[in-house]
Structure 1
Amino acid sequence: MDAIITNLEKSFKSLATKVRHSVQNEEILKETAEVEKIIRSASVKKTQPKLRKVAVTQLPTIRIPEIFHLKKVLALPFKLAPPPNTRISVPQHLNLILSDYNRATEGSPQNEAMIRSRIDAIMLTTLAQVKRDSTNPRSSVGSSSSASSISTVRSLHLQYEFSMKLEWTVDKELVLIEGIVDYSLWYGQHNNHASNMAMVEAKNPAMLSTGVLQCLAYMAIIQEHNTRAHQDTHVCGIATDSDEWHFLILRPDRTYIQKKYNWLDNSEEVVSMIYEIFRRTGELQGPKVGRMSSGSGFDARASKSPRK
């Protein structure tokens, strides 16, 4: 491919010179200049060195906050935490589904497939409830919803196994960080979506602490992309093994806060927190620039050195 681009550039340069000397039509000259510019750009890209690729799972887990310049804050209130009088009850059909799961899998070792089935049931049931409430004038969501916010709520969807990339400086080396986040939340119009939530499923309970830090890495990638695209830069995160739930909020100043719940003792709080993430995302406006497709992954490339 490199040899083809080199030969194309050389041949077209000769042709462009002849066109400029023999053609007086301004439209043809303008089109020739545009094509020459495209070929030159491809040639420049060809000569750029390829960056070393680093998977999110290869990053030193304990250093992820340092690598992405994140700082945990303990004193701030967790704004997503609902007061007792506004908590969302766990839907009866969700309780029945989870009860059946527990009955059917009793005695089975808790593995990735079992964990994911429980997470799917909780997340999708709660998202469906938010969408129902957005069109119900008697609900807290529907009573305050405008036509545009209802449209955004309807556009909410979870994307599974989403590919993310980011050029970032690690230990003074510009590398391409890439990974696949288990779940991400998207909103906006068709083929013009934005994301503000990453979710990591712990493969087993022993890996949950690692999952929390890897979730922060994906949140930082989303925030960096949203910063460049002039989108809202508050990013939510969830790391869970379906029993223990860690909720995170990454703020625009790169500080983050964290709150933990256990499903057995705090199922209403967990559902309420998920519901609130979905509800608040439904109030955001869809992206205007820097769009990314929720169907194919996004690539946040650095136009300058990442900020410190």
Structure 2
Amino acid sequence: MIEEDCAKIKTTKGHQHVAKAFGLSPTRWWNKRQLNAQNTWSAPDHLACLWDDLEIVTAGKGSKHPLFSVRIESLFLALLADNIKKESLGPNGPQELPHWSFRKRILTREMKDDKIPAPEDIIDYVLWYGHCLELETNMIVMKSERPVPRSWTLLQNMSGIHHARKLAERDAVIYGVITDGSKWVFIHLTNQSRYTIKVFAWDNERDQIIGQVQNIIDRAVALYRKIMSRSSLPKPTVHQISRCRIRELPASCAG
């Protein structure tokens, strides 16, 4: 089923359009090392209990239950917090450390800032290791009730960041995840614009999913350490060169 999902992703019109628009190609057969993380992480007891309780509460409703995203958020937050505590990262304050931000959209010179974004333009989580004007993120995450057929939206947003950083001659490697909490689609883009796609199911591949996310967070921490010593941002910035930026969405208001 997982291999079928990967094949299905590559044959969707959306995926083919994005790949053509950004000049992407699949990873060559001899370079399949991407998304093969071997890390292991023992989930704390309180987190394991939360996930068990979540299974009980959402029984029969699966990923369509409003609480199901708690699994996604708790995993991302716990892994990053654990990494930061373990690494004892520098004295600059929490706002300078690798961190998650929420509800973002990518804007390019062709897009209007005041236009209401389509669902495929909304990024639920961005993992920052540096400055937003440099688009210094190595991972974006999207939530979707249909992660396999909608994975082209993830690739589209990843490619916008990848293209902007490549245009500015920066490291353009980026990872992405689109998930409903049950099925997880991971995508990796290399500096050479080659992509790797892997699909995992939470029920029987939880350790692999956790390992992939942990590996990406480890890389974000390593990238953060590389830029810690700089005294100022490069001039011009990635935003100034590409006119691409990641902007926070206004808070939604109900009723």
TM range (shorter): 0.7 to 0.9
Task: Specify the SS of the correspondent of 1:209.
Answer: coil
The CA distance in 2 between the partners of 1:103 and 1:223, in whole Å, is 40
Aligned to 1:234: 173
Aligned to 1:79: 34
TM-aligned CA deviation for residue 283 of structure 1 = 1.0
The CA distance in 2 between the partners of 1:107 and 1:193, in whole Å, is 40
User: Are residues 1:259 and 2:212 paired?
Assistant: no
Which consecutive unaligned segments of at least 5 residues does structure 2 have?
A: 1-12, 228-232, 240-244, 250-255
TM-aligned CA deviation for residue 278 of structure 1 = 0.7
Aligned runs of 1:3-82 on 2, under 5 Å? 61-62=14-15, 63-73=17-27, 75=29, 76-82=31-37
User: Any idea what the Cα deviations from partners look like across 1:48-87, whole Å, max 9, x if unmatched?
Assistant: xxxxxxxxxxxx524221222111225222334223xx42
TM-aligned CA deviation for residue 275 of structure 1 = 0.8
The CA distance in 2 between the partners of 1:66 and 1:241, in whole Å, is 27
The CA distance in 1 between the partners of 2:161 and 2:93, in whole Å, is 23
Over 3 Å counting, the alpha-carbon distance change for 1:190 and 1:97 in structure 2 is: same
Aligned runs of 1:23-172 on 2, under 5 Å? 61-62=14-15, 63-73=17-27, 75=29, 76-83=31-38, 86-108=39-61, 110-111=63-64, 113-135=66-88, 155-167=97-109
The CA distance in 2 between the partners of 1:192 and 1:166, in whole Å, is 14
Larger radius of gyration: 1
Correspondence for 2:211 among 272, 275, 279:
272
Aligned runs of 1:193-232 on 2, under 5 Å? 194-202=136-144, 204=145, 207-232=146-171
| Contact 2:154–2:176, Cα closer than 8 Å, also in 1 | yes
Task: Specify the SS of the correspondent of 1:184.
Answer: strand
The CA distance in 2 between the partners of 1:88 and 1:153, in whole Å, is 25
User: Any idea what the Cα deviations from partners look like across 1:75-104, whole Å, max 9, x if unmatched?
Assistant: 222334223xx4223333221111111222
Which consecutive unaligned segments of at least 5 residues does structure 1 have?
A: 1-59, 136-144, 168-174, 298-308
TM-aligned CA deviation for residue 208 of structure 1 = 1.4
Aligned to 2:230: none
Over 3 Å counting, the alpha-carbon distance change for 1:126 and 1:182 in structure 2 is: same
Correspondence for 1:288 among 230, 234, 254:
234
Residue type matched to 1:272 in 2? G
Over 3 Å counting, the alpha-carbon distance change for 1:217 and 1:295 in structure 2 is: closer
Over 3 Å counting, the alpha-carbon distance change for 1:61 and 1:81 in structure 2 is: same
The CA distance in 2 between the partners of 1:283 and 1:153, in whole Å, is 17
Q: Which has the higher contact order (CA 8 A, sep 6+)?
A: 2
Task: Specify the SS of the correspondent of 2:164.
Answer: helix
Task: Specify the SS of the correspondent of 2:130.
Answer: strand
Over 3 Å counting, the alpha-carbon distance change for 1:112 and 1:192 in structure 2 is: farther
User: Any idea what the Cα deviations from partners look like across 1:132-169, whole Å, max 9, x if unmatched?
Assistant: 2212xxxxxxxxx8x59x989961111211121235xx
Residue type matched to 1:166 in 2? T
The CA distance in 2 between the partners of 1:112 and 1:78, in whole Å, is 35
Structure-2-length-normalised TM-score: 0.72
Task: Specify the SS of the correspondent of 2:162.
Answer: helix
The CA distance in 1 between the partners of 2:140 and 2:200, in whole Å, is 18
Task: Specify the SS of the correspondent of 1:90.
Answer: coil
The CA distance in 1 between the partners of 2:129 and 2:168, in whole Å, is 14
| Contact 1:234–1:250, Cα closer than 8 Å, also in 2 | yes
The CA distance in 1 between the partners of 2:105 and 2:170, in whole Å, is 19
| Contact 2:27–2:196, Cα closer than 8 Å, also in 1 | yes
